[in-house]
Every structure is written in C-alpha cells, then in structure tokens.
Structure 1
Amino acid sequence: MSRVPYVTATDIDPEYRELIVSSLQPGKTLNVYSAVGNNERVLEGLRGFLGALWNHSGLSDRQREIVILTTASEIAEPYEWHQHVAIATNAGLVAEEIDAIARDDRAVFPTTEQALIAYTRAVVRGRVTESLHEAVAERFDENAMVGIAATAAGYLALGRVIDAFEIEIEADDEFVGWEVDD
C-alpha cells in the first residue's frame, strides 16, 4: 500500500486533473502521478521536466528508452521498469535486449549503445570517469550528452520518489518481470 494516498480527479484542482493521466494511455490514471498529485504544483513541475526529457533529450526514442530502462535496472525499481518495457518495445527494443539491460549484459548491443548503457549506469552511480565521458562524447553531441545525463538523473529521482512512497503498479496490471523473454 502506498505511503501517500492516490489522488483522483475529484481530489485535485481542475487545472491539474489531466496531469494524473498517462500521456501514452489516454484515460488511464497512473499511480505515480496520483501519488505526487498530493502536491499539485510539484506534479506540474515533474510532468514538465519529464516531458522535456521525453521530447528534447537529443536522443532517439530507442536511445531514450535504453537510458530509462538502464536507470530502472540499476536502482532495481520495478514500477519504472514495468512502465517502460512496453514503451521500449514500441521504440524498437526486442525482448532479448530488454532482458540484457536487466542483467547488465551489453554484448547484444552495438558499440554506441554499449557506451550509452555504461554511461547511464555511471551517472546513476555518481561515478562518471573522464575516459567514460570521452567515449560517449565521441558518439553523441553536447545536446545529447546533456539529454543522457539529465534523463538518467531525472528517472533516478523519479525512482527514488516511487520508492519513498512505495508506489504500486496499477491494480489492473501485472508486473512484466525483470525478464520479458520467457
């Protein structure tokens, strides 16, 4: 059970109501947004920040989802992992690749994506070395470098909020598992 209540549309000011609904699943209220909705202004800022990461990271959809899944895997956050497996699949990742991210097995990825995964894990751990930064900077421009670090850090922060409140996967969903290639 969540440590804070999940607000409903009738619990919050009308100008914030759409913020508790998934932008990818119209009409579906997400527990993470419903929990954060206990502070409407923070919810508004969070959705704006995540939207900027989503739309302006300088990464392809596939690369963005690799960063998000890698972050969720690194911090062992099942809610975020669950939310993004289907999104990653729609962005072109296959089950073998998703499973490999969960195991931190980079061998199935091309060199650029291996570097992206290594850099993401280092950002989440707070351990980016000069050599790792340089290896990624050879493959991505400054715009994307900011997007990679900000996306990893943003989803790390979101994962910590999810953990702090013990936010559960939505009642009508079943956890996809850390291995989706069964």
Structure 2
Amino acid sequence: MAARIAPASEPFDPQVAEVINRTMKGRPPLRLFTTLARDPRLAKKFFAGGLLDKGHLSLRQREIVIDRTTALCGSEYEWGVHVAGFGAVAGLSEEQVRATVHGGAEAACWSDEERLLLRLCDALHADCDVDDALWAELQRAFSDDALIELLMLAGFYRTVSYLTNALRLPPEAGCPRFPAG
C-alpha cells in the first residue's frame, strides 16, 4: 500500500523536529509524523492535542481506549503502532490485544473497569454519545477529570484514525497487523 501524500523530507521545521525527536526518543520518526511535518502549523496543532502524558488515566487504561478506538475505526496503522510501542508495557496480554479488535466488552479477559472502558469506546463509536446508564457506571469508577480525558482521548484517536486511513499510511516496520478474525 502506498501513502496518498508523501512525507516531508528532513530538515523539518525546528520546532516540529524537536517535538518529533522528543516523542520518538531516538527512534526513526513515524510516517504519520513525517507526513504532518509537511505543514509545520498542522504538525504543531496535532502534537499540541496529544494525550500521551501522565494524566488522570493509567497507561493501561489509556492504551485500552486507544487500541479499541483505532480498531473500531479500522486504523490498522495506529493500532499497530500502539500495540508495538505500549501494549507490553501496559500489561496487555495477547488475548487482550486480540480482543481490542475481535472481542466485545464482555470478553473474559477484561476486568469490570476495563469492560467499562470498552463499552465507552463502543458507545462513542456507534453514537458519538454516552447514554445515562453507562455514564452513571463510569462516574462510579472514574473522576470527572478522568472522564473528560477519556472522551478527549477517544476523540483524538478517532481523528488520528481518519488521518491514517484516508492518507493510506502503510504499516510501520515491526508493527503488528490486525489479528485474523
């Protein structure tokens, strides 16, 4: 698969290069990042919206939401980047990684709190909303600030999925593909 828009060539805008280098920690930049680097304004806006810092969620909670959202959106590129980069560190088992693509919230591999996260992703994907019953359950498990972060995280990675899918970004080397159904 070939990308629809060619990535930028180095040297990148200095501010964009700094953010890419800080994000990649010495590894080669992701194709998504080099494609966005074509326009420094857009790249800066994208990186300003990221939620990969220490916030109100654990790494595991964050990665479950990202993996499920990108899987629901069909973004094999971004799903693979996150599974490769964070899946093991977040303590996701092979069964759980597979379930982000081919499992429901009721899969036996999830805790009750994790099932809530998956149900949230599923509801947002299907309806762009959360019904009152699910919201009440989420409020019992997460602070208001964490709930806002969850909504922003799912929305941001839906946007990332739009980018990676519409740009037809091929998978990064060493990143997994969606597991077979």
TM-score under structure 1 length normalisation: 0.88
116-125 or 73-82: bigger deviation: 116-125
Give ranges in structure 1 of 5+ residues lacking alignment: none
Separation in 1, partners of 2:39, 2:52: 22
Counting only pairs closer than 5 Å after superposition, residues 86-165 of structure 1 correspond to structure 2 as 86=84, 87-106=86-105, 107=107, 108-125=109-126, 126-165=128-167
Structure holding more helix per residue: 1
User: Residues 33, 22 of structure 1: CA spacing in aligned structure 2 closer, same or farther, 3 A cutoff?
Assistant: farther
8 Å Cα contact 2:113/2:141 also seen in 1: yes
Provide the alpha-carbon RMSD of the alignment.
1.8
Using the alignment, how far apart are the partners of 2:62 and 2:52 within structure 1? 7
Structure 2 CA distance for aligned equivalents of residues 68 and 44 of structure 1: 21
CA contact (8 A) 1:65 1:91 kept: yes
Contact 1:6 1:35 in 2 (8 A): yes
Pairs aligned (count): 175
Residue 68 (structure 2) pairs with residue 70 (structure 1): yes
3-state SS of 1:153 partner: helix
**8 Å CA contact 1:58, 1:144 repeated in 2:** yes
Distance in 1 between residues matched to 2:4 and 2:22, nearest whole Å: 21
Give the structure-2-normalised TM-score. Answer: 0.88
Larger relative contact order (CA 8 Å, sep ≥ 6): 2
Displacement of 1:24 in angstroms is: 4.3
Contact 1:72 1:80 in 2 (8 A): yes
Deviations 1:15-72 (A, max 9, x none): 322344472452311100111111111111211211xx11154110000000000001
Residues 27 and 101 from structure 1, CA distance in 2 versus in 1: closer, same or farther, beyond 3 angstroms?
closer
CA–CA separation in structure 2 for the residues paired with 1:176 and 1:154:
21
Q: Which amino acid aligns with 1:92?
A: G
Check conservation: 1:67, 1:117, Cα contact below 8 A: yes
Seen in structure 2, the aligned counterparts of structure 1 residues 18 and 8 have a Cα distance that, compared at 3 Å, is: farther
The residue type equivalent to 2:139 in the other structure is A
Q: Percent identity?
A: 23
1:79 aligns with 2:77: yes
C-alpha distance in 2, partners of 1:9/1:92? 35
**Unaligned stretches of 5+ residues in structure 2:** none
- Give 1:5's aligned residue: 6
